[in-house]
Chain A
């Protein structure tokens, strides 16, 4: 949400982006916006990745529990619990 509002702000007030860029020693206000976008995106990809690994773990737990709870006996085997 903050990113969105920040982005909208920069669109309507390009001079503020320029002022911030000058402060940081970056050429143009637009460049600053791009750099911020890249940094934000990298963080976002990393957090999505972590979330996917977490979901993977949860899914594995569920599928494994189901498999272990429901063993199937092959032919000629006395019924096992």
Chain B
């Protein structure tokens, strides 16, 4: 099998923790595309790492479990310091995201008019079908929270599909290791007045990913973390 052609311009960061059930399918998507892929394994206890190493990707490993926010930041730091990436995409490892949305994320960045692109499932009707009602409520509350705290008018504030240009990523410094990082990123976008836009993306709800979704108690944890965490 010939070696994969590497596109140094677009790097995709995939944080992963115990995703042996889905990481193979996720990385399969990237086999026929020429994005550079960086997977950050957050100290998985299953054989996620073994599966990852079957693919032409770069793997970074956390020696202890720190959280998705931390894994993302580790990926960002590696990419900024060790690659020539012009655009950086964050992508989830649980199979909810579709590689076909990456060009949608890149397009506004390539025009130079935007610094950040944020995926929104609510801009794509097919993504909203089949969404559990409780999930919808939690996400809408997230939107309200973001509106109140940052004045950002978004439709989806907890979507792991995001695009950044290289210069923009230097402003992003995720200090919230766990799930509060999503709100922290938005906070920093508002704080540094980055030019952002939302783009419609598909979210695929499978039984597997539904099990791993956020509970309402997690939302309370996130609020607590944000209250004590802000230090930039």
Min C-beta distance of B7 to chain A, whole Å: 13
- B52 cross-chain contacts in A, Cβ below 8 A: 74
Q: Does A51 contact B (CB under 8 A)?
A: no
Residue of B nearest to A64 (CB): B74
Place the interface of chain A in its size category.
20 to 34
- Given A74-B52, A77-B3, also A67-B177 (CB < 8 A): no
Q: Is the CB of A74 within 8 A of B59?
A: yes
Place the interface of chain B in its size category.
20 to 34
**Inter-chain contact total with CB atoms closer than 8 Å:** 74
Q: Does A72 contact B (CB under 8 A)?
A: yes
Q: Does B228 contact A (CB under 8 A)?
A: yes
Q: Does B60 contact A (CB under 8 A)?
A: yes
Alpha-carbon distance between A67 and B81 when the two chains are bound, in angstroms: 13
Residue of B nearest to A81 (CB): B82
Interface residues of A in 21-65 (CB under 8 A from B): 49, 53, 56-57, 59-60, 63-64
Alpha-carbon distance between A63 and B77 when the two chains are bound, in angstroms: 13
Residue of A nearest to B52 (CB): A74
Min C-beta distance of B67 to chain A, whole Å: 9
Q: Is the CB of A76 within 8 A of B1?
A: yes
Q: Tell me the B residues contacting A by CB distance below 8 Å.
A: 1, 3-4, 6, 40, 52-64, 66, 70, 73-74, 77-78, 81-82, 175, 177, 228-229
